[in-house]
Structure 1
Amino acid sequence: MPFAIHGLPVSQGIAIGHVHLVSHALLEVNHYHVAQRHLDEELERLDDAVATVQGELIGLKAAATAGHTHSEVGAFVDLQIMLLADPMLIGAARELIGERRCNAEWALVQQMEHLVEQFQQIEDPYLRERQADVVQVVERLVKVLLGHPGHLPPKRRDGLGTIIVAHDLSPADTISFRDHNISGFVTDVGGPTSHTAIVARSLAIPAVVGLHHIRDVVEDDELLIVDGTRGVVIIGPDERTVEEYRLRRSELELERSKLKRLKDTPATTLDGEDVSLLVNIEGPKDVATARSVNADGVGLYRTEFLFIGRDTLPDEDEQYEAYRSVLKTMGKRPVTIRTFDVGADKALNGAARPEPNPALGLRAVRYSLAEPKMFLTQLRALLRASVHGRLRIMVPMLAHAHEIDQSLALVDKARAELRAERIKFDESVEIGGMIEVPAAALALGMFIRRLSFLSIGTNDLIQYTLAIDRANESVAHLYDPLHPAVLKLIGGTIQAGARYGLPVSVCGEMAGDPAYTLLLLGMGLRNFSMHPANVLEIKQQVLRADVGDLAPKVQRILKMDEQARVREAVERLAG
């Protein structure tokens, strides 16, 4: 009898296919002592496994490049290759083998668990989920050590694809499966920023994650439907259900093909309001995707990804090259680069300095101001790169006037140093700030008087307003962008910016969700920044909107104080 399980929808679309279960090798690890005389052999076993996995990953990276796979996949594989040379993982595992005389598999798992504990102290959900890289590298190593690296699903003859069901998936797995008619991904763990989610979106493959025990309730080759739009997985569907979803899938595919026609259409509402659709990127490799959807520019370049997978901060020249590459490629289109959004929970020198509550600790601008030499290096690199395009510098998590003043003073110091060294830079680079905490949204005057633009980071603003850790599955259901308090803070920021002529954008997940496009337009938002994959769908919403009609309706919504009423009213906007 068919039944449905609900998870987190992370990549839209509908997949119908047969289950291919991917084993979770870490569940099969034995713990045993190695005789002293065999320790050298055990170390050699580990080294051979590292060499084998390194060869696999390099080969998969080459396959990804040859197949023009999206940049997210290649970047994650690069990171996993770097982990194989990381003394914190492989070196520490070798020490455990020598000191405790344990087998290589168990040494790897012990060190993995130690590193995962450190990652779990990290507040930023994207960086926290990079613990998955450590887990996935160790799992690949363990599979080699156990002698069963896994097999790929065969291509099916019945016209149906294959649904990969796993505890978790690595980017390398997705490349391995690329030529095997994979139509969907389903995992026990994960969230919107997990590997599976990011890679599935970049490859336009439907995915549902966070299903907890899905591997325990499905069997190999069982028929499955994955609804990546609604977050539903239907196990053992009957023929009528399959036909219903086939029809729905055809409708979605037709709609997706129509969206591609909008690439070169200006994002203008029915009543003539121009809207800027920008993209969020992690590095130079993402620019090609931004150009493929004809984005109006970059609204958020997350520079902290320059140091992921390394224990030292990139120097000024390396940063300059990364920023220059993006600016030059984007040409005359604006590029907003955010200064390092890091914290003591993810220290740049590799030293772990965990805090009791890193979300409320030394992070983002607080960390940058506590490390002025590091901050100045980044500002110099940014200003040097400014001659190659239209740069805007954005400072994260501002809450106090003195934080703005100190940041601007360091910008002035960087400018003065470059002038003294006769290094060219754009004197007119704009400096802006992110509105991510309620205190900032409620005291906008200090920002408006000092800065050139604002960007609302809705992910953190919602988290801090509702006191919800959005990566904590126990309370994730309470994370609600439509909470009246959240909407008042967002709406108030947009309206204050319009009143004083200060450009305001939204760069959190709300900007790329079509369910909120009309609401944000009605609030007065004209600058949206999102994942490149969402640009055309948001553009379609913009083209259908009449702001003059929306504005009074949205003002009434902002006066509501019941979430249920707000949600109903937002849904009616589309009608």
Structure 2
Amino acid sequence: MTVRVHGLAITGGVAQGRAVLVGHSGSQIRRYRVEVAQVDSELERLRNARDAVARELYGLQASLPGDAPVELSAMIDVHLQMLHDEVFKAAIAHWITRHHYNAEWALSAQLDVLVRQFDAMDDPYLRERKADLEQVAERVQQHLRGAAQPVSDIEEGGARILVAQDLSPADLLRYREGAFAGFATDAGALTSHTAIVARSMGIPAVVAVRGISQQVRPDDWLIIDGDAGVVILEPTVEERAAYRERERDQIRCKVELEALASVSARTSDGEAVHLLANIEGPEDVAAALHVGAAGIGLFRSEFLFMGRGADLPSEEGQYHAYRAVVQGMRGLPVTIRTIDIGADKPLDGASHPHADNPALGLRAIRWSLADPEAFRTQLRAILRAAAHGPVSVLFPMIGQLGEIHQVLAQLQLAREELAARADVAGIVRVGAMVEVPAAALLADEFFQYFDFLSIGTNDLIQYTLAIDRTDESVAYLYDPLHPAVLRLIARVIAAGVRSGKEVSVCGEMAGDVALAPLLLGLGLRHFSMQSAQIPLVKQRILRSDATALKEWAERVIAAPQPRLLMDSCPS
């Protein structure tokens, strides 16, 4: 009988094939006591399993393609750090030497202790790291029981859909070259590391499908609808045929969209639109150029810092990364955002105060201004890279006029420090992110200091509506079409028009094809998004009449329920 199960769609597209279950070892753990004479051999079993997992992870890291997003390697580093953590290893060994637990039981016992500690944490980012720890422990358990599944076992026999309680980023990377068509998991969130990897790989995926790993049997036929967030178990012949046609449409559409790379983004009534790419590192430049990006609208520099422990990048290391992007873009503009990190996304090894509400604490520009030496190190690297091509520097989460004066003073100091060293500093445009309502309300004042503003819609929505966008219990309230959000966006765009300066949108709204006509109608002409979204948004822009959209957009933002007017879009 056909069953449809709903979850969270994290990657669009559809896929179908036979189910492969990647089991969770929790219910399969062998628990027994070992004799004193067996303790050393049990410790050796544990070391061997841990070493085997480390070899797998190092092998995965070494095999990453040159154009792989930089965060993939950083995620593997996180798992390796957990695997090699001396406190973690000693605690597991303690269960074996003192309590005479077998290795599987010892690992499980210590994991239970740590999971309770993670669950008690207030910080949502740290709570999310519990999943990383569980995934590392799961891989070790598989080796202890001799059940680690070679890639070839998964890849044989045509298209496969992976089903699991959870999948780690390492699992996805292991299967990336095979017949892995899509996946579904019981657990997961839109912001999890696994979701990030899946999106970067373009794999249709649905997570938070409660109980899916218990409902599916090996070799069941499944359909993953990554557009609707649905998993279909044992679909009818008619459903399979319909989705097969959708798969063929996807392939045809991809070929058509690739042909748009050389086409200028211009509305049907002649308005030029700039479609730029969001990137995490130099490795993403090739993908941006492939889809015809007009430049880099957001270089998330924090990914150069994450997953490195205390070994943070020096000025020279940052300079080489920024220069690689600038030179790689061959004269196209590059916007580098200063590090957007904070108590909710702590750097490994960095000290920071405890925050009861980290989203409102020491993060983004506040973090940078709290450590001016490190801030100027980054600014010097950006200024040096600007000598190799057009560069803009973008400051995140500015909300106070006092912060504007501070960041501009630090930028000037960095320039003077380079001059004292006889280093060449390029000319940079200077911009600010609009992520808090205060910045949107002060847009006219901001334009007195900045060359451009970039609206980060993800955080603007979160702060305007008081919604934690990582909290599943309130996720339904996260609404980009809320009238307050739209009116703040319209206010910033209008301020840009009055000042004759550029406004861009670099949050998820920029890459949402359905919202492109509305943003065009509001006067937006600079969109920055993931490279994969550029062809889709360009296609919609080419079919749009900006003049006709203006009046409609004004009606939408004035309406108490804007969503009800979206279907009346004139083009």
TM-score, L = length of structure 1: 0.91
Q: Which residue of the partner structure matches residue 44 of structure 2?
A: 44
**Shift, 1:149, TM fit:** 1.2
1:469–1:476 contact (8 Å) kept in structure 2: yes
Change (3 A) 1:442 1:75: closer
Mapped partners of 1:555, 1:79: distance in 2: 43
Q: Which residue of the partner structure matches residue 113 of structure 1?
A: 115
**Shift, 1:35, TM fit:** 6.6
Does residue 177 of the first structure (1) align with residue 175 of the second (2)? yes
Mapped partners of 1:296, 1:119: distance in 2: 43
RMSD between aligned residues: 2.5
**Shift, 1:367, TM fit:** 1.3
- SS at 2:489 equivalent: helix
- SS at 2:473 equivalent: coil
Change (3 A) 1:38 1:387: farther
Q: Which residue of the partner structure matches residue 467 of structure 2?
A: 468
Which residue identity lines up with residue 2 of structure 1 in the other structure? T
Mapped partners of 2:378, 2:32: distance in 1: 48
Which residue identity lines up with residue 141 of structure 1 in the other structure? V
Which residue identity lines up with residue 59 of structure 1 in the other structure? G
Q: Which residue of the partner structure matches residue 139 of structure 1?
A: 138
Unaligned runs of 5+ in 2: none
Mapped partners of 2:142, 2:304: distance in 1: 30
Mapped partners of 2:454, 2:335: distance in 1: 10
- SS at 2:448 equivalent: helix
Change (3 A) 1:117 1:334: farther
- Correspondence for 2:90 among 79, 95, 103: 95
Q: Which residue of the partner structure matches residue 369 of structure 1?
A: 369
Mapped partners of 1:479, 1:94: distance in 2: 41
TM-score, L = length of structure 2: 0.91
- SS at 1:220 equivalent: coil
Mapped partners of 2:324, 2:413: distance in 1: 24
Mapped partners of 1:145, 1:227: distance in 2: 35
1:80–1:134 contact (8 Å) kept in structure 2: no
Does residue 278 of the first structure (1) align with residue 276 of the second (2)? yes
Mapped partners of 1:34, 1:405: distance in 2: 66
**Shift, 1:416, TM fit:** 0.8
Does residue 477 of the first structure (1) align with residue 476 of the second (2)? yes
Which residue identity lines up with residue 106 of structure 1 in the other structure? S
Mapped partners of 2:110, 2:282: distance in 1: 33
Does residue 71 of the first structure (1) align with residue 59 of the second (2)? no
Indicate the percent of aligned positions where both proteins have the same amino acid. Answer: 46
Does residue 341 of the first structure (1) align with residue 343 of the second (2)? no
**Shift, 1:142, TM fit:** 2.3
Q: Which residue of the partner structure matches residue 293 of structure 2?
A: 295
1:345–1:352 contact (8 Å) kept in structure 2: no
2:77–2:307 contact (8 Å) kept in structure 1: no
Does residue 541 of the first structure (1) align with residue 543 of the second (2)? no
Does residue 197 of the first structure (1) align with residue 195 of the second (2)? yes
Mapped partners of 1:174, 1:97: distance in 2: 27
Change (3 A) 1:573 1:418: same
2:82–2:133 contact (8 Å) kept in structure 1: no
Mapped partners of 1:273, 1:499: distance in 2: 18
Q: Which residue of the partner structure matches residue 358 of structure 1?
A: 358
**Shift, 1:227, TM fit:** 1.0
Q: After superposition, where does 1:429-468 map in structure 2 within 5 Å?
A: 429-468=428-467
Mapped partners of 1:3, 1:83: distance in 2: 35
Which residue identity lines up with residue 487 of structure 2 in the other structure? K
**Shift, 1:32, TM fit:** 6.8
Q: After superposition, where does 1:409-428 map in structure 2 within 5 Å?
A: 409-426=409-426, 428=427
Mapped partners of 2:569, 2:108: distance in 1: 56
**Shift, 1:250, TM fit:** 2.3
**Shift, 1:244, TM fit:** 2.0
Does residue 571 of the first structure (1) align with residue 564 of the second (2)? no
Mapped partners of 1:294, 1:270: distance in 2: 19
- SS at 2:414 equivalent: helix
- SS at 1:505 equivalent: strand
Which residue identity lines up with residue 225 of structure 2 in the other structure? D
**Shift, 1:224, TM fit:** 1.2
Mapped partners of 1:466, 1:30: distance in 2: 48
Q: Which residue of the partner structure matches residue 163 of structure 1?
A: 161
Give a deviation string over 1:476-531, Cα, whole Å, max 9, x none.
11111001111101111111111111211111011111011111111111111111
Mapped partners of 2:36, 2:336: distance in 1: 54
Does residue 227 of the first structure (1) align with residue 225 of the second (2)? yes
Mapped partners of 1:155, 1:429: distance in 2: 49
Does residue 389 of the first structure (1) align with residue 385 of the second (2)? no
Does residue 59 of the first structure (1) align with residue 59 of the second (2)? yes
Q: Which residue of the partner structure matches residue 503 of structure 2?
A: 504
**Shift, 1:238, TM fit:** 1.1
- SS at 2:167 equivalent: coil
Which residue identity lines up with residue 54 of structure 1 in the other structure? A
Which residue identity lines up with residue 105 of structure 1 in the other structure? L
Q: Which residue of the partner structure matches residue 491 of structure 1?
A: 490
- SS at 1:295 equivalent: coil
Mapped partners of 1:507, 1:86: distance in 2: 33
Mapped partners of 2:318, 2:121: distance in 1: 25
Mapped partners of 1:115, 1:334: distance in 2: 46
1:112–1:138 contact (8 Å) kept in structure 2: no
Q: Which residue of the partner structure matches residue 21 of structure 1?
A: 21
Which residue identity lines up with residue 68 of structure 2 in the other structure? S
**Shift, 1:285, TM fit:** 1.3
Give a deviation string over 1:5-44, Cα, whole Å, max 9, x none.
1222222211121111111235544677777765554443
Mapped partners of 1:213, 1:3: distance in 2: 13
2:169–2:193 contact (8 Å) kept in structure 1: yes
**Shift, 1:255, TM fit:** 1.8
